[in-house]
A and B are shown apart, each in its own frame.
Chain A
Amino acid sequence: MNNDMRSYLESTARERVERLFDAGSFVEFLPPSSRVISPHLGQLDAPVAFDDGVVVGRATLGGQNVFAAAQEGGFMGGAVGEVHGAKLVGLLRRAAAEKIPAVVLLLETGGVRLHEANAGLIAVSEVMRAVLDARAAGVAVVTLAGGSNGVFGGMGIVARCTNAIVMSEEGRLAMSGPEVIETASGVEEFDSRDRALVWRTTGGKHRYLLGDCQAIVADSVVQFRAAAIEAIAACRSRSTALGLAELEQEHAMLGERIVRFGAMSDPLEIWAALGIEEPATIPMLDAAQFVAAASAHRMGGC
Chain B
Amino acid sequence: METLTYRFDNGTRALPPQPRVIGVVGSGNLEVLIESAPQDGACTIDIKTAAVGFGATWQAVMQDFHERWQLMDASIAINDMGATPAVVSLRLDQAVETMLGAPT
Contacts and interface: CB of A to CB of B under 8 A. Distances in A.
| A–B in direct contact per CB < 8 Å | yes
Contacts of A74: 24-26, 29
Interface size class of chain A, counting residues whose CB lies under 8 Å from the partner chain: 10 to 19
Contact of B19 (A14, A33, A45): A33
Contacts of A49: 24-25, 31, 79
B102 interface: no
15 contacts: A13-B24, A14-B21, A31-B19, A32-B19, A32-B21, A32-B33, A33-B33, A46-B1, A47-B50, A50-B79, A53-B25, A74-B24, A74-B25, A75-B25, A75-B26
A47 B24 contact: no
A31 B77 CA distance: 14
**Pairs A-B, 4 closest by C-beta atoms:** A74-B26, A74-B24, A32-B21, A49-B25
B66 interface: no
A30 to B, nearest CB: 12
Interface of B: 1, 19, 21, 24-26, 29, 31, 33, 35, 48, 50, 77, 79-81
A84 to B, nearest CB: 13
A164 to B, nearest CB: 28
Contacts of A42: 1
A12 B79 contact: no
Contact of A48 (B24, B25, B29, B35): B25
A72 interface: yes
Given A33-B35, A49-B31, A72 B77 contact: no
A74 B25 CA distance: 7
Interface in A116-147: none
Contacts of A46: 1
Contacts of B24: 12-13, 49, 72, 74-75
A48 B79 contact: yes
A50 B1 contact: no
Nearest to A41: B1
A47 B48 contact: yes
Interface in A46-70: 46-51, 53
